[in-house]
Chain A
Amino acid sequence: MTLPSSGALDYNSIRAEFGAPSSNVYISLFNRTGAYVYNVPANSNIPTSNGAQVSVSNFYGAKSKGDYSAGPGGTHNTGGKNPITYWGTGGPSLPGMSDTSDSKGTSSAVYGSSNGSGQIWMTYTSGQGWSGTMTVYRNDNGTSPGSINITNNAFGSGGWSGTSWLLNGVGSNYSWLNTGQLNIYRPW
């Protein structure tokens, strides 16, 4: 789901990679942070606004949304005498994920919590192995507030069951998951 990083690149290749609703390819449709292009390091050469100068070469090595799952990061405090705070997307009273599929399967929840009941829940349909580093990017500025190392013993209980991975015990050290839209990448 990546465009070539050298050689001739035409508008149709850009259109066919990101997907487009019209045969008329206008390059501003593919502005970074727009409807078709996430703000991630692979797309850092693509301008974010219509007024900026843009050329086809800005799209060398760019990645379409298919590699990433995404969702609005939020925070929720349960209140009461023993309040629990949740941070992230897809968790209890948190905003749901807006894009649950990536190139390896689906993710339906990525959140931490102040009492360690946070979870990461995902499936995979291709690729090798079950451990790796999940990197999270902020869509507003393209930076990564953090990454999550996933192994069978990373946190509390959890692990693979068939093609589903449930990671329990994601704690308060993941409070940075509350920020804006999160674009989530897992390479394995």
Chain B
Amino acid sequence: MDLSDFTKTLNYMPDLVRYFDEETKEDKTAKEVELTWKHNSLHVSELKFYLREGHEAWDDKIRTRENEILTMWMVELGYDPLYNIVKDKKIIARGQVETQEQIDNWIKPNSTAALKPTEVDKI
């Protein structure tokens, strides 16, 4: 199932927050941002995340939160996380074979035509 049809909105919070800028070694203030994820077609929870504007780990933290939210939506939709994961914003079965290359590289038993029987040495 494809979960990618969602809207992510940013909303500035009214109060400024404080932080220490390690490059300039100064205390500074910044706007705090409320991010909201809302799915456009599925009946799943609207979920949020709060972070200050210009945070050095902005992209990483939001990516992490988005993955968390997609997994929460997956569970809300009744998929067992033991057997399913979210990959590229889609719910897929864990270990699912997706490409021909995976099939071609699958380890299979050697057929008798490929290998002759070998005598076993006595120990």
Pair count A-B, CB < 8 A: 79
Task: Verify B52–A17 contact, CB threshold 8 A.
Answer: yes
Interface of B is mostly: strand
Interface residues of B in 40-63 (CB under 8 A from A): 47-52, 55-57, 60-61
What are the residues of chain A within 8 A of B15 when measuring CB–CB? Answer: 10, 12
Structural contact, B57 and A15, CB atoms closer than 8 A: no
User: Which B residues are in CB contact (< 8 Å) with A101?
Assistant: 57, 60
Q: Is B89 close to A, CB under 8 A?
A: no
> Looking at chain B, what size class is its interface with the partner chain?
20 to 34
Q: Which of B49, B57, B65 contacts A103 (CB 8 A)?
A: B57
Q: How far is the CB of B91 from chain A (nearest CB, A)?
A: 21
- Alpha-carbon gap, A129 to B48, bound state (A): 38
Contact A4 B48 (CB under 8 A): no
Number of interface residues of A (CB under 8 A): 25
Most chain A CB neighbours (cut-off 10 Å) among B15, B20, B27: B20
CB-contacts of A96-127 with B (<8 A): 101, 103
CA A61 – CA B27 in complex, angstroms? 11
How far, in angstroms, from A65 to B13 measured CA to CA in the complex? 22
Q: Contacting chain B: which of A18-26, A78-86, A134-142, A151-159?
A: A18-26
B6 within 8 A of A: no
**A52: Cβ under 8 A from any B Cβ:** no
Find the B residue at minimum CB distance from A22: B48
Check: A49 CB closer than 8 A to any chain B CB. no
Residues of B within 8 A of A17 (CB): 17, 19, 52, 55
Within the complex, which residue of B22, B34, B47 is in contact with A2, where a contact is CB–CB below 8 Å? B22
Contact B50 A19 (CB under 8 A): yes
Instruction: Tell me the A residues contacting B by CB distance below 8 Å.
Output: 1-5, 7-10, 12-13, 15-17, 19-23, 61, 64-66, 101, 103
